[in-house]
C-alpha cells in the first residue's frame, strides 16, 4: 500500500530517512554481485545489502574501456531476487544514470570511482534525489565535500579490484586521524581547517562537536579476507563493502560467510582464527605501489 | 542499577545504547547467548532482519532468547527489524522469526527506500506533542492477537506500535530521534519488573 493514503503530514526522502538506512546497515557486510544467484548467496550468508553490478571491479579493471552503469535489466533481476537492500553504481557526475537507478527502485546509489567518471569537475548534486547516495573518500575533506553535496553514507575508496587492503587502510587512517585532530581543536581554528581541507565550515564544526562523521562510514576497496574486514572494523569503520573479494575467491559461499562473521566479531581473535580456517585461496592481489597512476581508480573524483 | 542488553550482532545498536545511557541506564552489548543471562531487559534494534535472524541462528542464540523472553518474561522491545524478529508470523515466510508475539508482520510494507518516510503519531499513554516517527523500509502489523494492545496506528488504521505484556514492538525508529519518550516507556517496563 502506498503512503500517499496517509493524511497526516508525511515526508519521504528526508535527510533522516536517507542517512537512517545507512545506520541500519552498520556492523554489516555489503557484497558486490553480478547475478541473482550470487545475490541469494550473499543474502544467505548474512549480507546486509548487495551492490548490483555487471562486472566486479577486478573484471572492470581487466576489461578496460569505459565502465558505465549496469544494464537496468540486470539490476532489476537482482532487486527481484532478494529482500535486503540493493545498491547500484552510477558514474561520478552522471546524474542521469542516478535518475535511472532511482526509477528502478534501487535503495542506494553509489557514485563510484570504479566506473569511468562522466564529469571531471562536478559530482552529482545528491540533494536533488529521494534515493540516498554513498560516495568514496580518501581523506576527511573529500568525505565532507561529498556530504555537503548530499551523500548520506561514506566509504573509503581503497583500491577497488586490487585485492590489496593497503589503500583502504591508508584512507581510513587519514579520515579517522583527521577527525581525532579536529575534535581537540579550539573553535578559532575551525575556519582555517575548513579552508585547508576544502570542506564546508558547518560540517567541520559538526565533526568537532560530535567527534565523528555526520554519516555512517564503511570500508571499501581491497577487502579480501576475514582478517581484512576485522582490521578495518578495529580501525574504526562502521561496516564493510566487499567487491571482488568474495566471488573471485576459491570458495565464495564460505568466504562470504566468514567475512560476515569476522565483521560482527571483529574484536574476538579466537573467532577470527576459527572462521579463517580452510577458506582456500583469496582473490589474487595486485601490488598497488607498482600500479601506474592511470590505473588507480582512487584518484578519480576530488 | 538496571542493566539493559542491546542485541549487537548487526544494525543501529549504538544509537539505542546512546539513548539508554542518556537516561542513566547501564547497557550491555549482546553478541553471544551467555551474555543474555544477567540482563533485566533487551532491545532488538533496527537493522536488516534477514541478516539479524541468520546471525541469531549462526550464533545459536534462538533458544536462549526464547527462554529468557518467554519463560523468564524479560521485558523486550524490538524496533523495525527487531519487531520482525519478535513476530509470530511473517507474511512472506522468510526469515524465520522467533515467534515471541501474537503478531503477523509484513516486511517492507511501504515499498522501497525511496518510499521511506517520517510522520507524526499519537501514541497511547504518551504525554506531550505528537511523536515524530521515522519509518525506514519499515514493516507493519497485518494483524495482532487479542492479548496485544495497539499503542499507535497510521491514519489508515494499520498498527505500528504494540505492546503484549512485557513485550513492545514498533515499526519505526525512536533511536534515530532526540525524543526519548519511547525509551522511557520501555525503561519503565523494565524497572517495574526489576
Q: Judging by beta carbons within 10 Å of its beta carbon (0-12, 13-18, 19+), is residue A76 exposed, middle or buried?
A: middle
Q: Please indicate if any CB of chain A lies within 8 Å of the CB of B23.
A: no
The reported pLDDT for the residue numbered B193 is 84
Owner of C-alpha cell 573518500: A137
Q: Please indicate if any CB of chain A lies within 8 Å of the CB of B85.
A: no
- Asked if A113 contacts A160 with a C-beta cutoff of 8 angstroms, the reply is yes
The reported pLDDT for the residue numbered A145 is 98
User: Which residue, among B137, B140, B136, has the nearest Cα to B152 in the 3D structure?
Assistant: B140
A250: its cell numbers: 576459491
Owner of C-alpha cell 605501489: A289
- Are the beta carbons of B11 and A8 separated by less than 8 Å? no
Distance between CA atoms of residues A149 and A180, nearest Å: 23
Which residues of chain A are modeled with pLDDT < 70?
1-8
Mark which residues 31-50 of A lie under 8 Å from B by CB.
43-49
User: CA angle at residue A228 from A157 to A91, to 5 degrees?
Assistant: 20
Q: Please indicate if any CB of chain A lies within 8 Å of the CB of B44.
A: no
pLDDT in tens, B104-134: 999 999 989 999 999 999 999 899 999 999 9
Coil, helix or strand for A139?
coil
- Asked if B101 contacts B169 with a C-beta cutoff of 8 angstroms, the reply is yes
Is B80 considered catalytic here? yes
Min CA distance, B102 vs chain A (Å)? 23
Q: Which of B8, B50, B136 sits opposite A17 (nearest CB)?
A: B136
Query: Quick one: CA torsion of B66, B97, A27, A124, rounded to 10 degrees?
Result: -160
Distance between CA atoms of residues A34 and A73, nearest Å: 12
Q: Work out whether strand A153-156 and strand B159-164 pair parallel, antiparallel, or are unpaired.
A: unpaired
Q: Please indicate if any CB of chain A lies within 8 Å of the CB of B35.
A: no
- Are the beta carbons of A48 and B10 separated by less than 8 Å? yes
pLDDT in tens, A40-87: 999 999 999 999 998 888 888 888 889 999 999 999 999 999 999 999
- Are the beta carbons of B15 and A23 separated by less than 8 Å? yes
Q: What residues of A are in contact with residue B129 (Cβ under 8 Å)?
A: none
Q: What residues of B are in contact with residue A26 (Cβ under 8 Å)?
A: 10-14, 47
- Are the beta carbons of B47 and A7 separated by less than 8 Å? no
Min CA distance, A219 vs chain B (Å)? 16
Distances B44 to A147, A296, B4 between C-alpha atoms, Å = 29, 42, 11
Distance between CA atoms of residues A26 and A227, nearest Å: 18
Min CA distance, B118 vs chain A (Å)? 5
pLDDT in tens, B128-159: 999 999 999 999 999 999 999 999 999 999 99
A269: its cell numbers: 581473535
Q: Please indicate if any CB of chain A lies within 8 Å of the CB of B142.
A: no
Distances B25 to A91, A134, B53, B184 between C-alpha atoms, Å = 46, 34, 26, 10
The reported pLDDT for the residue numbered A8 is 65
Q: Which residues contact A117 (CB under 8 A, 6 or more apart)?
A: A91, A92, A93, A300, A301
This model's pTM is above 0.80: yes
- Asked if A30 contacts A48 with a C-beta cutoff of 8 angstroms, the reply is yes
Provide the angle, in degrees to the nearest 10, between the axes of the packed helices B49-58 and A252-264: 90
How many beta-carbon pairs below 8 A join chains A and B? 139
Mutation target vs B (from A12, A47, A233; most B CBs, 10 A cutoff) = A12
Q: What residues of A are in contact with residue B172 (Cβ under 8 Å)?
A: none
Q: What residues of A are in contact with residue B8 (Cβ under 8 Å)?
A: 27
Query: Quick one: CA torsion of A230, A289, A242, B35, rounded to 10 degrees?
Result: 0
Q: Please indicate if any CB of chain A lies within 8 Å of the CB of B108.
A: yes
Distance between CA atoms of residues B71 and A104, nearest Å: 46
Q: Please indicate if any CB of chain A lies within 8 Å of the CB of B48.
A: yes
Q: What percent of chain A has a predicted confidence (pLDDT) above 90?
A: 81
pLDDT in tens, B4-42: 999 999 999 999 999 999 999 999 999 999 999 999 999
The reported pLDDT for the residue numbered B174 is 96
Which residue in the list B15, B80, B166, B183 is annotated as catalytic? B80
The reported pLDDT for the residue numbered A1 is 42
- Asked if A146 contacts A113 with a C-beta cutoff of 8 angstroms, the reply is no
Q: Please indicate if any CB of chain A lies within 8 Å of the CB of B80.
A: yes
Distance between CA atoms of residues A20 and A47, nearest Å: 18
DSSP label at B2? -
- Are the beta carbons of B113 and A85 separated by less than 8 Å? yes
- Asked if A22 contacts A152 with a C-beta cutoff of 8 angstroms, the reply is yes
Asked if residue B94 has pLDDT above 80, the reply is no
The reported pLDDT for the residue numbered B194 is 63
Q: What is the DSSP string of A44-91?
A: HHT-SEEEE-SS-HHHHHHH-S---PPPHHHHHHHHHH-SS-EEEEEE
Q: Please indicate if any CB of chain B lies within 8 Å of the CB of A107.
A: yes
- Are the beta carbons of B110 and A3 separated by less than 8 Å? yes
- Are the beta carbons of B117 and A17 separated by less than 8 Å? yes
**Mean pLDDT for chain A?**
93
Min CA distance, A59 vs chain B (Å)? 28
Mark which residues 218-277 of A lie under 8 Å from B by CB.
260-261, 264-265
- Asked if A200 contacts A141 with a C-beta cutoff of 8 angstroms, the reply is no
Is B173 considered catalytic here? yes
Q: How many beta carbons lie within 10 A of that of residue B64, not counting itself?
A: 17
Q: What residues of A are in contact with residue B177 (Cβ under 8 Å)?
A: 16
Preceding amide of A130 cis, omega within 30: no
B158: its cell numbers: 494499520
Run of H or E including A179:
helix A166-183
Coil, helix or strand for B167?
strand
The reported pLDDT for the residue numbered A2 is 46
| Partner residues linked to B167 by β-bridges | B76, B164
Q: What residues of A are in contact with residue B156 (Cβ under 8 Å)?
A: 1, 5-6
Distance between CA atoms of residues B113 and B116, nearest Å: 5
Is B132 considered catalytic here? no
Run of H or E including B135:
strand B131-135
Please give the ipTM for the structure prediction: 0.93
Q: Please indicate if any CB of chain A lies within 8 Å of the CB of B168.
A: no
In order of their start, the domains of chain B are: 3-193 (3.40.50.880)
Distance of CA B104 to the CA centre of its chain: 14
Query: Quick one: CA torsion of A121, A126, A127, A133, rounded to 10 degrees?
Result: -150
Distance between CA atoms of residues B162 and B191, nearest Å: 19
- Are the beta carbons of B134 and A20 separated by less than 8 Å? yes
Amino acid at each position: 500500500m502506498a503512503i500517499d493514503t496517509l493524511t497526516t503530514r508525511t515526508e519521504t526522502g528526508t535527510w533522516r530517512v536517507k542517512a537512517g538506512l545507512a545506520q541500519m546497515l552498520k556492523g554489516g557486510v555489503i557484497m558486490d554481485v553480478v547475478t541473482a544467484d550470487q545475490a541469494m548467496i550473499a543474502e544467505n550468508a548474512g549480507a546486509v545489502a548487495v551492490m548490483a553490478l555487471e562486472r566486479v571491479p577486478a573484471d572492470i579493471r581487466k576489461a578496460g574501456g569505459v565502465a558505465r552503469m549496469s544494464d537496468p535489466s540486470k539490476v532489476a533481476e537482482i532487486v527481484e531476487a532478494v529482500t535486503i537492500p540493493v545498491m547500484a553504481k552510477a558514474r561520478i557526475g552522471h546524474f542521469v544514470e542516478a535518475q535511472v537507478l532511482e526509477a528502478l527502485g534501487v535503495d542506494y546509489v553509489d557514485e563510484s570511482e570504479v566506473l569511468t567518471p562522466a564529469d571531471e569537475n562536478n559530482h552529482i548534486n545528491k540533494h536533488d534525489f529521494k534515493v540516498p547516495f554513498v560516495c568514496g573518500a580518501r581523506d576527511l575533506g573529500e568525505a565532507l565535500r561529498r556530504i555537503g553535496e548530499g551523500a548520506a553514507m561514506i566509504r573509503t575508496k581503497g583500491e577497488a579490484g586490487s585485492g590489496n587492503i593497503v589503500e583502504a587502510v591508508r584512507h581510513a587512517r587519514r579520515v579517522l586521524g583527521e577527525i581525532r585532530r579536529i575534535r581537540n581543536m579550539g573553535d578559532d581554528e575551525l575556519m582555517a581547517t575548513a579552508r585547508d581541507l576544502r570542506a564546508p565550515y558547518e560540517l567541520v564544526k559538526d565533526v568537532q562537536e560530535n567527534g565523528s562523521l555526520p554519516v555512517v562510514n564503511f570500508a571499501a576497496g581491497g577487502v579480501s579476507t576475514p582478517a581484512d574486514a576485522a582490521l578495518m572494523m578495529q580501525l574504526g569503520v562502521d561496516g564493510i563493502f566487499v567487491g571482488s573479494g568474495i566471488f573471485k575467491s576459491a570458495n565464495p559461499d564460505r568466504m562470504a560467510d566468514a567475512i560476515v562473521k569476522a565483521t560482527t566479531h571483529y574484536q574476538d581473535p579466537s573467532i577470527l582464527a576459527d572462521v579463517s580456517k580452510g577458506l582456500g585461496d583469496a582473490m589474487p592481489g595486485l601490488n598497488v605501489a607498482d600500479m601506474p597512476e592511470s590505473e588507480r581508480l582512487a584518484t578519480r573524483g576530488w | 542499577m538496571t542493566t539493559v542488553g542491546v542485541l549487537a550482532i548487526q544494525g543501529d545498536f549504538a544509537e539505542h545504547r546512546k539513548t539508554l545511557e542518556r537516561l542513566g541506564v547501564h547497557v550491555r552489548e549482546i553478541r553471544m547467548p551467555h551474555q543474555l543471562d544477567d540482563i533485566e531487559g533487551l532491545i532488538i534494534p533496527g537493522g536488516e532482519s534477514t541478516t539479524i535472524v541468520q546471525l541469531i541462528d549462526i550464533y545459536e542464540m534462538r533458544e536462549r532468547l526464547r527462554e529468557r523472553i518467554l519463560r523468564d518474561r524479560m521485558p523486550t522491545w524490538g524496533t523495525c527489524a527487531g519487531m520482525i524478529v519478535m513476530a509470530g508470523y511473517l507474511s512472506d515466510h522468510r526469515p524465520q522469526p522467533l515467534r515471541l508475539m501474537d503478531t503477523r508482520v509484513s516486511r517492507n510494507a511501504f515499498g522501497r527506500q525511496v518510499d521511506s518516510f517520517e510522520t507524526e503519531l499519537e501514541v497511547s499513554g504518551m504525554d506531550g506533542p505528537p511523536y515524530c516517527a521515522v519509518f525506514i523500509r519499515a514493516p507493519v502489523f497485518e494483524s495482532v492477537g487479542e492479548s496485544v494492545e495497539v499503542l499507535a496506528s497510521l491514519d489508515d488504521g494499520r498498527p505500528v506500535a504494540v505492546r503484549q505484556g512485557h513485550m513492545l514492538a514498533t515499526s519505526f525508529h525512536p533511536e534515530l530521534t532526540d525524543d526519548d519518550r519511547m525509551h522511557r516507556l520501555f525503561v519503565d517496563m523494565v524497572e517495574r519488573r526489576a
